[in-house]
Amino acid sequence: MSAPELYSPRYLNMVQTVWLARHGNRIDFVNPEWFKTAERRYDPHLSDDGVVQAQQLAQRLKGESIAHIFASPFLRTVQTANQVAEVLDLPIKLESGLSEWLNPVWMPATPEKLSLEALVELFPRIDRSYISRVVAEYPETGEEALERSGKTARILVDEFSEDILLVGHGASVMGATMGLVGGIGKSEVNAALCCLVKIVRHDQEWVMELNGDTSHLSQTEKVIRFN
């Protein structure tokens, strides 16, 4: 978005809140053996405590005026988003731009995920008509992943002017935050499991009001893990 656009009448006196959440705990973090026999090794589901975290996240956001939920198409992020969607009675828009960092060191090829049809069968709240605004492409560097998720966040806030929730991964939560809040680096964004980042736009300025908040969780990780 260019500077003249930011100062256009559309953005004056505008207040918008963007919530960003990382998915809950994943099964391979709890049971590393799962990876050896899994059908889709790079698309783990939530662990039992991860489901509880997602439920607690949903209760935390219950009173917020969120109008749209966007989620990475990986299973753990869709599961997390679905808990919130059930509480807020909203559809889920699958956005590839919020995907996991497609790191070739972690993954030898494009990670296999459930098809849209399979995800819709599991999670009927998915909006089949929504088309990703940004498509994540394998392989990518860490900087490319941050730039991709930052670009995604900027596109979504430009198109959807109401309060929104973005459910992603450690890297995409960091990148989306950096893409909106200028002058902030990845080391300054806390992206713990099932955390919340809250960014508020007042006119043309974005301000981070919560950074990796986990006060809604009964159990948190001591060390932030990304893979």
Beta bridge mates, 71: 94, 167
Nearest CA to 61 among 122, 20, 15, 16? 20
Tell me how far apart the alpha carbons of residues 160 and 91 are, in angstroms, rounded to a whole number: 14
Residue 183 has pLDDT above 50, yes or no: yes
Contact (Cβ atoms closer than 8 angstroms) between residue 119 and residue 94: yes
Tell me if 57 is assigned to some domain.
Answer: yes
Share of the chain above pLDDT 70, in %: 94
* pLDDT at residue 109, rounded to an integer: 97
Tell me if 4 is assigned to some domain.
Answer: no
Tell me if 1 is assigned to some domain.
Answer: no
CATH number of the domain where residue 146 is located: 3.40.50.1240
Domain range for 138 is 14-203
Tell me if 190 is assigned to some domain.
Answer: yes
* pLDDT at residue 182, rounded to an integer: 86
User: In the predicted model, what is the mean pLDDT of the chain?
Assistant: 93
Q: Summarize the confidence of residues 170-188 as an average pLDDT.
A: 94
Tell me if 116 is assigned to some domain.
Answer: yes
* pLDDT at residue 79, rounded to an integer: 98
Contact (Cβ atoms closer than 8 angstroms) between residue 201 and residue 177: no
Tell me which amino acid residue 160 is: F
pLDDT in tens, 78-133: 999 999 999 999 999 999 999 999 999 999 999 999 999 999 999 999 999 999 99
Q: Please tell me the pTM assigned to this model.
A: 0.93
Tally of structural domains, the chain: 1
Tell me if 222 is assigned to some domain.
Answer: no
* pLDDT at residue 163, rounded to an integer: 98
Tell me if 185 is assigned to some domain.
Answer: yes
Tell me if 56 is assigned to some domain.
Answer: yes
* pLDDT at residue 221, rounded to an integer: 78
